[in-house]
Amino acid sequence: MAEFIPPLETLVEQFHRLPGVGRKTAERYALSLLKLSEEEAAQFADAILGAKRDIRDCRICHNISVDDVCPICASPDRDVRTLCVVQDARDVMAMERVRAFDGVYHVLGGLLNPRKQQAAEQIRIPELLARVAEGEVEEVILATNPTFEGDTTAIYIANQLSKFPDVRVTRLAYWITVGGDLVYADEVTLTRALQGRNKLN
Amino acid sequence: MAEFIPPLETLVEQFHRLPGVGRKTAERYALSLLKLSEEEAAQFADAILGAKRDIRDCRICHNISVDDVCPICASPDRDVRTLCVVQDARDVMAMERVRAFDGVYHVLGGLLNPRKQQAAEQIRIPELLARVAEGEVEEVILATNPTFEGDTTAIYIANQLSKFPDVRVTRLAYWITVGGDLVYADEVTLTRALQGRNKLN
């Protein structure tokens, strides 16, 4: 594969690192960026730096947050006895859109993937167990996607939680298409999936 | 559609502006960027600023260039009598990879698109006509993609060039799949398409 001239090649390589972006797509993105004005390009660069600088993980649930503790964890109206475990911040948004859930979240930041050797420690399962060990949680809803990795992760977590016999462990009832993605589920489907959640333990 | 917290939302909007990037994909890109280290995020931002700062259009052919005139136009080994007209810098790369062409290029920077009201002035057709008017060019090869826009653009340019009766106007013989993309053509195919080009005037 031929390379572009250095400053453009560097940009192509950066885009190529984004999830699911192949070489040709990265080239398309990089060339489109050259068509922006100086000011627009600066805005793009600032957006990257700004997001990285101003966004952190909520200390409690690890959802993205501007503050040390996110608005959901900080709210007195949320029921801390019900903990919904999701893959990432987009899933929190999907669940919040539904407005059918008044508990709190735990954001894993990934899923177990034996092929990629993604270990339990890398996806905040120890943090989840520590939260449950504090004793306030009565139910853990495993809302990872109904994919191979999502199911594997849910089963693994359910096993780990068996050391807390008083905690109910449930999984979303997948009216959501098997193999699908929480983020793409419509609101009626997601509400039903939440209402009809199944007990795993 | 729910929005992310502001610094992330800003980043999502930037990615959403890239060609073919929908809202969900932009969210995925933005979240993956948050997983980079501070240093990696800074490298990404620098790559954008660096490419925009250091890359310009070649004054002659409008291909991307670090210098005022690109290496192809600056080379004494290239035949300025044969001018190959392409859509963008990726097409130049595709042609150069083939090593079957020793002429020079004219990069349009787009294609005529009546639906998007992309006019001839926006895609450097006046610049092309000015180059041909200088009298050195003996053949113009129209190598825009064999798509609706690519064909429309080629026909439009061929018409405009009819005022230069001594200039041969040809189009790549499309052994390339109709509706396809020059960038994705393999080298044997592209060499054949070049060798078997058809006279349009």
User: In CATH, what number is assigned to the domain containing residue B183?
Assistant: 3.40.1360.10
Beta strands in chain B (DSSP E): 56-57, 64-65, 79-86, 103-107, 139-142, 168-171, 198-199
**Closest by alpha carbon to A94, among B200, B33, B23?**
B23
Q: Do B2 and A38 touch (CB under 8 A)?
A: no
pLDDT for the residue B6: 87
For chain B, the average pLDDT equals: 88
Q: Which of A9-23, B23-37, B166-180 has the lowest mean pLDDT?
A: B166-180
Report the 10 Å Cβ neighbour count for A108.
Answer: 23
User: Both A102 and A37 in a single domain?
Assistant: no
Starting at the earlier edge strand, list the strands of the sheet with A139-142: A103-107, A79-86, A139-142, A168-171, A198-199
CB B152, CB B124: distance < 8 Å: no
Out of A54, A69, A90, pick the residue that ends a domain: A54
Contact B31 A97 (CB under 8 A): no
Check whether residue A110 and residue A175 sit in a common domain.
yes
Cβ distance of A2 and B41 shorter than 8 Å: no
- Is residue B1 in a domain? no
Residues of chain A found within 8 Å of residue B42, distances taken between Cβ atoms: 49, 52
Answer whether B52 sits within 8 Å of A36, measured CB to CB.
yes
Quick one: A106 and A179 in the same domain?
yes
Residue B117 in this model has a pLDDT that exceeds 80: no
Same domain, A73 and A39: no
Cross-chain Cβ contact A42/B49 below 8 Å: yes
- pLDDT value for B3: 74
Where a domain ends, among A54, A70, A89? A54
pLDDT in tens, A82-117: 999 999 998 998 888 878 889 999 999 989 987 766
Using an 8 Å CB-CB cutoff, list chain B residues near A183: 24, 27
Q: Which domain holds residue A42?
A: 6-54
The amino acid at A189? T
Q: Are residues B113 and B159 in the same domain?
A: yes
Among A4, A34, A65, A87, most B C-beta atoms within 10 A, so best to mutate, is A34
| Residue range A126-177, pLDDT digits in tens | 999 999 999 999 999 999 988 888 989 999 999 999 999 999 999 887 655 6
DSSP state of A166: T
Q: Which of B54, B70, B92 is the last residue of a domain?
A: B54
Mean pLDDT of chain A: 88
Assess contact for B84 and B61: CB atoms under 8 A.
Answer: no
Residues B72 and B144 in one domain: yes
**What pLDDT is stored for residue A198 in this prediction?**
77
Q: Does residue B113 carry a pLDDT above 50? A: yes
Q: Examine the domain organization and report whether A74 and A155 are in the same domain.
A: yes
The residue-averaged pLDDT of B59-75 equals 95
d(CA B186, CA A169): 54
Looking at the 3D structure of chain A, how many domains does it have? 2
- pLDDT confidence of residue A39: 95
B26 touches B16 (CB < 8 A):
yes
Q: Pick the residue from chain B with its C-alpha nearest to A88.
A: B31
Q: Clarify whether residues B162 and B180 are in a common domain.
A: yes
A146, amino acid identity = P
B42 and B84 together in one domain: no
Q: What is the CA radius of gyration of chain A?
A: 20
Q: Which of B198, B194, B201 is nearest to B86 (CA)?
A: B194
The C-alpha atoms of residue A10 and residue B183 are separated, in whole angstroms, by 20
In a domain, A173, yes or no: yes
What is the domain-level CATH number for residue B49? 1.10.8.420
Asked, for residue A44, whether it belongs to a domain, the answer is yes
Best probe of the A interface among B13, B23, B37, B52, by most A CBs < 10 A, is B52
User: Could you say which DSSP state residue A107 is in?
Assistant: E
Looking at the structure, do residues B20 and B61 belong to the same domain, yes or no?
Answer: no
Q: For position A1, what pLDDT does the model report?
A: 46
Establish if A1 belongs to a structural domain: no
- Asked whether the predicted pLDDT for residue A37 surpasses 50, the reply is yes
Q: Strand A79-86 vs strand A139-142: parallel, antiparallel, or unpaired?
A: parallel
Query: Does one domain contain both A40 and A127?
Result: no
Question: A60's torsion region: left (phi>0), alpha (psi -120 to 50) or beta?
Answer: alpha
pLDDT at B1: 46
Q: Which of A100, A101, A63, A108 shows the shortest CA–CA distance to A81?
A: A101
Comparing C-alpha atoms, which of A138, A83, A31 is closest to residue B19?
A: A31
Same domain? For A80 and A148 the reply is yes
Contacts of B25 (CB under 8 A, 6+ apart): A20, B15
pLDDT given at position B49: 96
